[in-house]
Structure 1
């Protein structure tokens, strides 16, 4: 993976972290059981990585 692509991906992760933090400030933390349920329906593994995106 090129360094430019890695940098873009890191910025995306940072932005997502900011969105999650904002959500949690407004709504409180997400219910862990609901997160696991949603991940299973989306096909996301325990690592949080969608298999095709690894």
Structure 2
């Protein structure tokens, strides 16, 4: 899960977790990083593991 970060949609301000790291076969297609929030695993309590 370390490839995911909190993403805030610039239009709707909706927050969700999205993958920011490309997969091996993605060809280096990186997302726009200015809408991602990188808090670190300790500070985000929204994502819990079962």
Q: TM-score, normalized by length of structure 2?
A: 0.24
Instruction: Report the structure, 1 or 2, having the larger strand content.
Output: 2
Bigger Cα Rg: 1
Q: TM-score, normalized by length of structure 1?
A: 0.24
The structure with higher relative contact order (CA 8 Å, sep 6+) is 2
Instruction: Report the structure, 1 or 2, having the larger helix content.
Output: 1
